[in-house]
Structure 1
Amino acid sequence: MTAPDSPSTGPRSPQRRKREALERLAKDNDLWAATADATGEPCLVPLAFWWDGEAVWLSTRETNPTGRNMCASGRVRLSLGHTRDVVLVHGTARMLTRDELPAEVGDAFAAKDGWDPRESHPSYMFFRVVPQVLQAWGTVAEMTGRTLMRDGKWLV
């Protein structure tokens, strides 16, 4: 979660990038979620999230473009951090209604964010996003080796 090492020490190791990506998933409060509709119209929104160690949990209204797009395609890209220290996740999304949501997931999401979608408007749904590809890099020096997960399996 820091900038890459100085040029004299070179880019961060893949192990360090994995550790820092996992720290970001555990500690950050918000991320950017990118989806597209059937015509390719993009949608990019900030969302609160909770990481359970295997999947990213999001909540948005089923009627919002992001919710509709994830329901229709099951695909989403998530971005955490800033442009000089980014974690990019390509994932598969599955919607869960409030009734399907495990209580412990809803409780953990609410505790982390301080907001409980289950108590908001009934159109809020939850989405479980399973990472298929995870990349982390800071600058051009870290472009090589930025893919830390492929096909849902850690490479590091």
Structure 2
Amino acid sequence: MTTREHRPPRTGEQRRTDVLTRLEEDVDAWVATASPGGEQYMVPLSFVFHDGRLIMCTRHISGTARNIRAGSRSTIALGHTRDVVLIEAEAEQLAPDGLTPQAGAAFAAKVRWDPRGDEEYVFLRFLPRMLRAWREENELKGSVLMRDGVWRV
């Protein structure tokens, strides 16, 4: 019987296809930020991948929103431990009405929640700068699929 560890590694092109599928189909991701003093903060947030960016929403008083306002770097994790996608991203906070109508509609349709117009919430927009994806040890080599915001495959 073949185990996951014995599957041959995917090509870079296949990994990119798999990552794009995950970005389209997954609804939730883990988002890690840090305070200016270095206190780490990680929460699950729902997202939509729209125009090459991940869009999420949270209360404006949340640790994630505060950290992003302070310029925190962000790491986003998708998948589970045997199908990992790690994204280092530049993040910005937008007012509840700061999204384009198309992005707002895409978010509301995917996550089945529309916080636009609710002053308690802010949108977060993440631009991927580095993206890595792997399933097992044999895929660690070549796991960097994007660097400086440019796909390498």
1:3-38 per-residue CA deviation (whole Å, 9 max, x = no partner) reads x9662x521111111100000000001000000001
SS in 2 for 1:118: coil
Partner Cα distance (2:145, 2:97) in 1: 34
Partner of 1:89: 87
Partner Cα distance (1:40, 1:17) in 2: 33
Q: 1:112 aligns with which of 103, 107, 110?
A: 110
The reply on whether 1:128 has 2:125 as its aligned counterpart is yes
Q: Which amino acid aligns with 2:69?
A: C
Partner of 2:45: 47
Runs of 4+ in 1 over 6 A off after TM superposition: none
Q: What is the RMSD computed on CA atoms of the aligned residues?
A: 1.6
SS in 2 for 1:47: strand
Deviation at 1:114?
0.5
Partner of 2:137: 140
* Structure-1-length-normalised TM-score: 0.91
Deviation at 1:75?
2.1
Segments of structure 2 that go 5 or more residues without pairing to the other structure are none
Q: Which amino acid aligns with 1:112?
A: K
SS in 2 for 1:132: strand
Number of residue equivalences: 151
Q: 2:19 aligns with which of 21, 27, 31?
A: 21
1:58-87 per-residue CA deviation (whole Å, 9 max, x = no partner) reads 111121001111111152110000010011
Segments of structure 1 that go 5 or more residues without pairing to the other structure are none
